[in-house]
Structure 1
């Protein structure tokens, strides 16, 4: 990874600072012979290679190293700058490396197992050379902890040792991950990684370098241990975000269009005939103008604004005109007595308009508008009259229907009392019903059936309820009874009384009607025989 240009940035911190120089190296540089048991002197080539590397600090406080000769930049400390303890760590099988926080507090990380600890591992305390300032004296040895791994090969960190790649730079001991912090499954690790990306507001348009710069300092960034896994999860997150980002872009575009139209509406200098160039001269310093990037879109929005403005102005003028017309029509209602609707339309128009001409409401309208208002008012009068006539007619028809029903109920009551029967005539029934209110109400109807017609219909319906053919069949089938010219009414009634009531259910009124019919039929037969 290239953190600086070719040749590298200037070192930060102490001038010429690389790593602390061991005592034996300082003695050699001063022309002294190393003490008995000291390390052998480095060759001139090794010293030159060490001088080529310089240590720097990134903007976020992380250390990186640059080689002025090769142009190489790396986060890992080069071997030329490593102390003897750093060089030997990992070669004895322990893989432990010591780091230092910006506050100067050391911590230790095992590259093989992923374990991190604030305490110096025992293996480093036994391998550290005398006088080496990088490795601290080891504390009291602690029993080694066996490394266990989950189904994905990720080390399961035991309690008391934090997981991940070490305490965050610049963090305190209490800021380290809690004891036993781990992800049991790869799915949980991916969920934590995506949760971090969501908190950092990563979108589908971000690059991987932008993601690393924004989120790499969070411990959840190392939930996935390998770079391919991190990039794959990053791409999955971006795919999931595409639809949401698209909706967000659409909402931003709508908001930008609304702001653009509000900007146009707020200016009194924008009116019908304003061109896009004139609008740009007015709003080129307004951020809302530049929020719409396309000149074609700006032109379309300007045209829509001008059309909407013209429509609103037209509607406003029409609303004002309607208000003036309504004021004039209120005056016309006061002159309804002068307007005649039983003749041709417009009768009384000239007289009314001349009478209202001095009024302010009349002067506010042109002659054409006053005439149009009068015609509208005249049509309203006609419509009100038609509605009133229709309502009156509906009420009259309902009242006449109720009077007919009441008269029919009157005839039924008279029939039950024996005052009116099947053999009754209108002349006989009239004295019975003529003094009732039902008869008077029916008589006042303007349309529909008369009292006599309803009476005749009532008698006709009652007679149809009698099975006269069955009675005649019973008379013809009786050998002992024969209706002739000398048969009396009493004989026929006696015969009808003797019939089986289960077959013939005849009321007294019905028997009278059957008797009358049989006598008339016998008389007609006798006249036919004589002829």
Structure 2
């Protein structure tokens, strides 16, 4: 493949560029022209091979001594008789007799078979597609064939006999092998160049016996043209090899020359190498310059690579020295580092920027190692804290399932009971993660949510079962046994039943307190009622006073009749003692104490009398 390629400029004009030497020219280079001729010759060879294949496939229908050829310029088929040298554009008939007065072109045996000649063989005769012109040698051959044809008309038997004998003698004297190949070998041994004409070559090899292996002039010219194509390819390849060899020799000379350095200019190189055979062997000045500059760039690149490698080695050695020095740590300052290494030979030969880069890189690596160590330690502590948290949650769950921990349990109770447990102490000693108090509050909140859900179910189940809770008598087992009869018992959490039993006990206690409080309020209100009733005297009896009090709400609040009567008697006694004080009679200490107590209760009841209506409304709401 050629290094030259055709391109089109912006103004539409074509130019040619060499990919290897980066040279651009307007005129088509000779190297590209030879390459195109080689390509054209190869295409012609392919067409000739196709034509020969077609001729061999149709040779059975051709008359004797007739052969089929393909015109090199027009690509049109023509037919030639090797005996009479008759040429025809039309396919000859099998019964047609050879005639010299044929209407077909007379010299088409030589001219159409020949390929297109180069400018160097301009002395060769040109070929016309309609009426080819005969050369002088062909004219002699045609006159000889005409006379022989006349003789054959008079005595055809003797002609055929003589022809057969001459053919047999010629075949026995022919050298063995391909005639065309031997003809080309003859031209090659004669060193026939690609720009020779057929006439020039003919003068040189006409006396060689291999020249007469090809009988007709057209066959010789066709073989000669094939040889020229092969010779052009050979010369082109040889020229390329020679140019490459010259370029390699020039580069080798530059490599071996001690004067060539990266600072050497092109002008100085021209003056220094002028007259050198290796320098002059490369014809193109531009190509010599490109080779020189490329070699100088390679030297510069190698020197730069050497400097970079040396710089990296010194930096690597300084880094190794820092790693073995225990005085250089994460907290070492740049000023301290310079003071420590200012007399070191390696430090002195290095560039200060490179030293700084090594120092900063080493400190960053130490920081990364320290961060990795701290991160691993934090991760270890987190894993350990997570493990203790999980153990503490499992511990609280075990206590909850065992009934030792309830949703109503307070932190003070839990800490007082389990504060010395190893699980609690291990979690409390951790510096990361949640504390025992936070986990306890989260756990109690979860248990409260679960208990509230079960609490509603338990309350509905007790209502459905008509279960009667008796304080201080109903046990946990009795409650479970009663609840097990309900169909929703299976979905309950067993840990929710003990807190529910505590809830029932607390509810009964609250009810008892409420009843006691209401009774005290009713007693106080009843005493206030007795004081406000003016018709009651110290000689009044309960049977007389009761009908007057039955319509009052204070009377109805105190439902116990015996309690009403007892309070009435105390009130009568209070009135008697009060009247005695007015008369100046001194009573005993017990009587004085009972009077003070009744007066105090009456006074407190009078203060709460204002809220009687509110208490009644609360009672109605509770009912």
Give the TM-score, by structure 1 length.
0.46
CA radius of gyration, larger in: 2
Give the TM-score, by structure 2 length.
0.40
